[in-house]
Structure 1
Amino acid sequence: MTDTLTTRLENCYSGAIYDVMRAMGRPNCVLPHEIVGLDAETRCCGPIFTLRGVAFDTERANEETDYLLPWVRFLSEAPAGHVVICQPNSPTLALMGELSAETLKYRGVRGYIVDGGSRDNSFIRKIGFPVFCKFRTPRDIVAKWVPDATGEPISIGDVLIRSGDYVLADFDGVVIIPAEIVEEVVTEVENVMAAEDKVRSAILSGTDPIDAYLEHGKF
């Protein structure tokens, strides 16, 4: 089920959100620019559900432990209507793949953003599940990585991310909106976009850019 804020946020874009948050004195809201969508059309937004994990120094395939079970448990817990954001603490492994993406999509998760890798990306694009990642690799997590927390605060770059905060990710990047100001931010972004529409209409009707800017205070 899509909440009202998510519906409104779907009509926004990351640049306007950043501009509004900068004006509010909260410019530290953008994830590292290396985290990008699988293609130019990849986009997602909504409330956040966080995931954190730990990588092993050496592969543990010979141990009598099912290292995939904690990951499958996460897939079962990820709430519908949310965007998962993962801090894997791994610079080499893929933290998303074909079956996981299909599972999350089927369960109503709106997207997945990871400060790490993704694999099976052609398939993920084909099914239309939004994934933002730092790199692509065939290296999976089996016997090399496990989740160690869900729903807990994480950091990516210098941005603090909490479950219940909101995210919008598009072709320009990923912006995080703290839960306590999301209503205010979305409302102001809607005002900004309305002003931009007026400037656009004025320019396309022949108004000089200076006059359009002075009248509407936006460019």
Structure 2
Amino acid sequence: MTGAADTDRGTPLPEDLNSQLAQAGSATVANLLLRRGLRNVLMTGVRPLTEGQPPLVGPAYTLRFIPAREDLDTLANYASSSNLHRRAIEECPPGAVLVIDAFGSTGGASLGDLMAARLVQRGVAGAVTDGGYRDSAAIRQTGLPCHHRDNAPRATPVALHPVALDEPVGCGGVAVYPGDVIVGDSDGVAVIPRELAPDIAAEAADTTAYEEFAAREIRRGRPLHGLFPATPESRTEYDTWVAAGRPGQEQPWT
């Protein structure tokens, strides 16, 4: 089982779906998945590399590490074109998110700046690991949206041995199947089963729009009760507001 059809998992997301999920963010996505009984979808201890970086959205392409062993993990082996870490950089599809299962280890780097630059050049949407990155300042300069646990300046072979590409992994305590849709922002990283992504995106767009209405009402002094969570009555008010052209939606918080 892959969690997504083999024919779909490498396909880039439609632009409208990508935009809806980017605007919604990881917290809204997690709440919508909770309604479907999916509780463990937010990665633990995984945060943005750079404050204010763009949202990260795309289907997962996975790499899995296990602990390194000295007879196998040499710099010579690491330099080989058959090394799965290096292959992941060259084989992650454009528009995808490289998800790296480092079993929570920051003893060696899951990624460095030259690898990040190559991912940008190849059109990859971003990278996520429950390990860490080296050359963090230089990675920021590439513009690649990245999430990790913490800085990991040591060379990869010191602690990490790559064993699998494009197979199910665990990252930040969450199961990630190839093709699952990754949504990362300032709150964290959420994982959506691929087959649910269109419905979650549509519901997220509606939820985000309703929250604009709720924020407007709160600015006007209205209490949360009867407004958030939405009620049938407040949804009717919201529909009227939308029909009127959403007046007041640009008012700043005061």
Counterpart residue number, 2:96: 82
Residues 103 and 199 of structure 1, relative CA distance in 2, 3 Å threshold = same
Which residue of the other structure, out of 153, 172, 177, is the alignment partner of 1:162?
177
Counterpart residue number, 1:191: 206
Of 73-82 and 201-210, more deviation after overlay is shown by 201-210
Task: Say how many residue pairs are matched.
Answer: 215
Which amino acid in structure 2 is aligned with residue 68 of structure 1? A
Percent identity, aligned pairs only, is: 27
Counterpart residue number, 1:31: 43
Q: TM-score when scaled to structure 1?
A: 0.88
Residues 101 and 62 of structure 1, relative CA distance in 2, 3 Å threshold = closer
CA offset at residue 104 of structure 1? 0.4
Work out the CA distance in 2 between the residues paired with 1:152 and 1:143: 24
- Gaps of at least 5 residues in structure 2 are 1-11, 236-254
Q: TM-score when scaled to structure 2?
A: 0.77
Asked if the contact 1:68/1:142 (under 8 Å) is kept, the reply is no
CA offset at residue 173 of structure 1? 0.9
Residues 30 and 208 of structure 1, relative CA distance in 2, 3 Å threshold = closer
**What is the alpha-carbon root mean square deviation over aligned residues?**
2.3
Alignment map for 1:123-138 (pairs within 5 Å): 123-138=138-153
CA offset at residue 156 of structure 1? 2.4
Work out the CA distance in 1 between the residues paired with 2:21 and 2:227: 27
Within the alignment, does 1:103 sit opposite 2:124 as a pair? no
Work out the CA distance in 1 between the residues paired with 2:67 and 2:140: 26
Residues 61 and 201 of structure 1, relative CA distance in 2, 3 Å threshold = closer
Residues 102 and 157 of structure 1, relative CA distance in 2, 3 Å threshold = closer
Work out the CA distance in 2 between the residues paired with 1:144 and 1:159: 22
Which amino acid in structure 1 is aligned with residue 112 of structure 2? G
Render the CA deviation track for 1:132-168: whole Å, top value 9, x for unaligned: 1111121011465442211101112442101111011
Residues 98 and 37 of structure 1, relative CA distance in 2, 3 Å threshold = same
Asked if the contact 1:67/1:143 (under 8 Å) is kept, the reply is no
Counterpart residue number, 1:20: 32
Of 98-107 and 22-31, more deviation after overlay is shown by 22-31
- Gaps of at least 5 residues in structure 1 are none
Which residue of the other structure, out of 125, 129, 143, is the alignment partner of 1:114?
129
Asked if the contact 1:35/1:132 (under 8 Å) is kept, the reply is yes
SS in 1 for 2:138: helix
For the pair shown, which has the larger CA radius of gyration, 1 or 2? 2
Render the CA deviation track for 1:159-193: whole Å, top value 9, x for unaligned: 21011110111111111000121111111111211
Work out the CA distance in 2 between the residues paired with 1:134 and 1:2: 26
